[in-house]
Structure 1
Amino acid sequence: MSAESTLGPGISGSGDKRPRHRGKRRRRNKALRVMAWTAAGVVVLGGAGAGYVYYKLNGNIKSVDINQALGTDRPAKVDNGSENILVLGSDSRSGANKKLGGGVDDGSARSDTAMIVHVYEGHKKASVVSIPRDTLVDRPECTDAKGGVHPAESGAMFNSAYSTGGATCTVKTVESVTGLRMDHYLEVDFTGFQKLIDELGGVTVTTTQAINDPDSHLDLSAGTHKLNGDEALGLVRTRHGVGDGSDLGRIQLQQAFIKALVNQVKQIGVLTNPTKLYALADTATKSVTTDSDLGSVNSLVSFADGLKGISASHMTMVTMPVQYDPANPNRVLLDKTKAQLVWNALKKDQTIPKTATQGTATGKAAGVVSG
């Protein structure tokens, strides 16, 4: 079974035949714009709410100077019009995240979700590569945002890079594994994700089997459900409720959830509701951490606006090619030969070949959830 899945058909609407294509384009652009803003952690303000609103939202955003911390020992930028964005979901065990993370409040955090979003030249299509958190990698020496140096470690879990040195060490590790330069960095935490889904009015999914995972506070019968923020968080975090119990199964659920969100976001009326628009923007900017180049409302708006032309039918999602670790079924190992096919394609701004994910470990959760 291939770990690859292509997001569903473009968003469309109804109406008489004459304005239909125009209407479809308007609704698709509107829906994708909301999705882009949500993914980037910000919603466009339009021309309204200048002054106080702008400065309040601008003050919400946290940023990390990745370029300063990592210096020049990085893959070269590829000047072909494409962009690579590392998107993380962090599972801090402190503050409001303690209950959601289900762990001890020890102040630690790991990258619970990691995705490389490759935006192709022209910004009309994208590929998303999910990185299993349980992948054993050779973590390079790295410098954190405060200047602290952390030694290299062989056979470390991928998500330990975040707990070791935060965003900068995670970017360093991704660049070391892939040979690709990360142009931008975006991070959303547990509570931020939960609140964003609630502000968006929830997401409807259909499950083909019951999912029960007390660790993720999730109990869903087979059938159709409109998930609130807490339930959506449980769905994208569960690993014991479906498939083979691995992180790979969780990734398949995450990809299915994103598909459901893309297909349904057209129903969310935030663009015509100023109160809802501001509430979403306030929540999003409080929840996001970015690289310093995106560390302002203006920069995030410009970045998100550049993504709005990517339709759902032109987003492809794959899982980084891995195989189960024979020594530990709870860990996976990078399939270097197949993974190199992915990295080469992205470096050349080409479509990821299907052969890159054929015969790799999948997690056996495909088809359990759909939009």
Structure 2
Amino acid sequence: MPEQVRHGRQQTPSRASLLLKSIAVAAAVVLVSGIGVAAYAYNDITSQISDAAVDIGGDATTQPAPFLGAIDGGFNMLVVGTDNDANQGDSFGERDATLNDVNILVHVSPDHQNAVVVSFPRDLVIDQPSCNDSGEVYSEPLNTSWERGGDGGGLACVAATIRELTGLDIPYAAATSFNGVIEMTNAVGGVQVCATAPIEDPDSGLYIPEGYSTVEGAEALAFLRNRHGVGDGSDLARIGSQQQYLSSLLRKIRDSSTLSDPTKVYGLAQAAAQNITPSTSLKSPDALVSLALSLKDIDLSKVVFVSYPVSAYVDDPNKVQPIPDLADELFQRISTDQPFTLDADSTATGSSQDPSAGTAPPAPEPTATAGAPDATDAPTDAADTPDVIEGLKGQTAAEQTCANPFDG
């Protein structure tokens, strides 16, 4: 390939700058649920992403992406996992419709010190926009949004639905299906998961022993899809498994051996480019890298995974409805960038803390010094002591959780 003509004093990218871009790509992949968006500066990958991009509408605007620099300020990004794809055939069973079964919103604070990853249950019954300009409002499960968007409008309709539910601007979005999950997991060499006892689920094809296992390919997909073999057999239990998986994936990607391996980095980028539908705001590699650079240094204990707060739906035990007050508090905190943490009993349905993981030792008691003010009178930085939102379910990326087998 002939060299591109460059003007002025701009120099050919150094090995260090290419490594930085690779690190950014890997970090971006992680916080879009292992299936998300990454791009390398090769023309073939760039064109694949650009050609697949779709307009998701909305009032939010995106800023020009800096070259090899983090985006200025915070952002919201939607990640959608669909259960159907023209390229997968009937490998995962015959389907006459496409459903948005995984709906995840990633929020990064303006100072790039905190992130919140919200999972919305597929069976959440809410008022939804028509997405076809009819003006009609539909009260249906969330996973019907994709189909209502029609040909080419699925991602835009899901984004419109989540915007209306949360009140947040969502300028970035990406969607993938089963094949994308398989390829992305293979690209990192598998992800470690944990079970408190053996899990056997013929419906998803998941068979894992007690303790730790490394899953990849179809087995990783089975772990993420598994519903009837975990917890109470609900979608909420499956969300708990997904949060465990994403936390483990984030920890692995942040490991230096992964970030420094050019083969793995390129594999992540290639897998993403071949298996995603991005919003037009993400068709530029520079945009992808700028988002990634805002994510890569966040403390794992400040990456909070939460399930959208729900209660049982009154007319159907297989569906759920919002808990309005708790949901309002959650998104008020997100929209105003007020960090928060979860209470001690927050572990998601179907999951539990790994008792062998241990906990950090308690901080030593302050030692009094003559003439010094009492330690209890010392001012505290509210940003360092985030409030607890009681009632939310989830975990931080620093926590190791394990899936509990079906208890029904």
Q: TM > 0.5 between the two?
A: yes
Asked whether 1:109 is paired with 2:95, we answer no
Q: Find 1:125's aligned residue among 111, 114, 126.
A: 114
* Equivalent in the alignment of 2:8: none
Q: Find 1:159's aligned residue among 125, 143, 154.
A: 143
**Using the alignment, how far apart are the partners of 1:335 and 1:286 within structure 2?**
38
Superposed CA offset, 1:125-184 (max 9, x none): 1011110010001111224xxxxx466343301010012110111111111111111121
Where do 5+ consecutive residues of structure 1 fail to align?
1-28, 144-148
Q: Find 1:91's aligned residue among 78, 83, 89.
A: 83
Asked whether 1:363 is paired with 2:349, we answer yes
SS at match of 2:297: coil
Distance change in 2, residues 1:97/1:205 (3 Å): farther
* Equivalent in the alignment of 1:297: 285
Distance change in 2, residues 1:202/1:342 (3 Å): same
1:96 to partner: Cα distance: 1.4
SS at match of 2:105: strand
Amino acid at match of 2:351: A
Do the aligned partners of 1:140 and 1:151 also contact (CA within 8 Å) in 2?
Answer: yes
Do the aligned partners of 2:145 and 2:158 also contact (CA within 8 Å) in 1?
Answer: yes
Structure whose CA Rg is larger: 2
Asked whether 1:313 is paired with 2:307, we answer no
1:232 to partner: Cα distance: 1.2
Query: Where do residues 309-348 of structure 1 align in structure 2 (5 Å cutoff)?
Result: 309-348=297-336
Do the aligned partners of 1:93 and 1:103 also contact (CA within 8 Å) in 2?
Answer: no
Do the aligned partners of 1:84 and 1:118 also contact (CA within 8 Å) in 2?
Answer: yes
TM-score (norm 2): 0.71
SS at match of 2:28: helix
Superposed CA offset, 1:271-323 (max 9, x none): 44434433332111111222111112222122212222223121011111100
**Using the alignment, how far apart are the partners of 1:139 and 1:265 within structure 2?**
36
**Using the alignment, how far apart are the partners of 2:197 and 2:314 within structure 1?**
29
Q: Out of 260-269 and 125-134, give the one that drifted further.
A: 260-269
Q: Find 2:242's aligned residue among 254, 258, 274.
A: 254
Q: Out of 264-273 and 129-138, give the one that drifted further.
A: 264-273
1:39 to partner: Cα distance: 4.0
Query: Where do residues 39-54 of structure 1 align in structure 2 (5 Å cutoff)?
Result: 39-40=31-32, 41-43=36-38, 45=40, 54=42
Asked whether 1:280 is paired with 2:264, we answer no
Distance change in 2, residues 1:238/1:258 (3 Å): same
Do the aligned partners of 1:325 and 1:332 also contact (CA within 8 Å) in 2?
Answer: yes
**Using the alignment, how far apart are the partners of 1:366 and 1:316 within structure 2?**
16
Amino acid at match of 1:55: N
Query: Where do residues 130-149 of structure 1 align in structure 2 (5 Å cutoff)?
Result: 130-143=119-132, 149=133
**Using the alignment, how far apart are the partners of 1:351 and 1:338 within structure 2?**
15
Identity over the aligned pairs, expressed in percent? 32
SS at match of 1:98: coil
**Using the alignment, how far apart are the partners of 2:308 and 2:140 within structure 1?**
17
Asked whether 1:215 is paired with 2:207, we answer no
TM-score (norm 1): 0.77
Amino acid at match of 1:154: Y
Cα root mean square deviation, aligned: 3.0
Superposed CA offset, 1:200-244 (max 9, x none): 111122211222222211111212211112111111111100111
**Using the alignment, how far apart are the partners of 1:42 and 1:86 within structure 2?**
11
**Using the alignment, how far apart are the partners of 1:221 and 1:150 within structure 2?**
51
Amino acid at match of 2:272: A
Query: Quick one: higher RCO (CA 8 Å, sep 6+), 1 or 2?
Result: 1
Distance change in 2, residues 1:167/1:200 (3 Å): same
1:341 to partner: Cα distance: 0.6
Amino acid at match of 1:88: V
More helix by share: 1
1:42 to partner: Cα distance: 4.5
Distance change in 2, residues 1:266/1:154 (3 Å): closer
SS at match of 2:298: coil
* Equivalent in the alignment of 1:225: 213
Amino acid at match of 2:44: K
Amino acid at match of 1:161: S
**Using the alignment, how far apart are the partners of 2:87 and 2:39 within structure 1?**
29
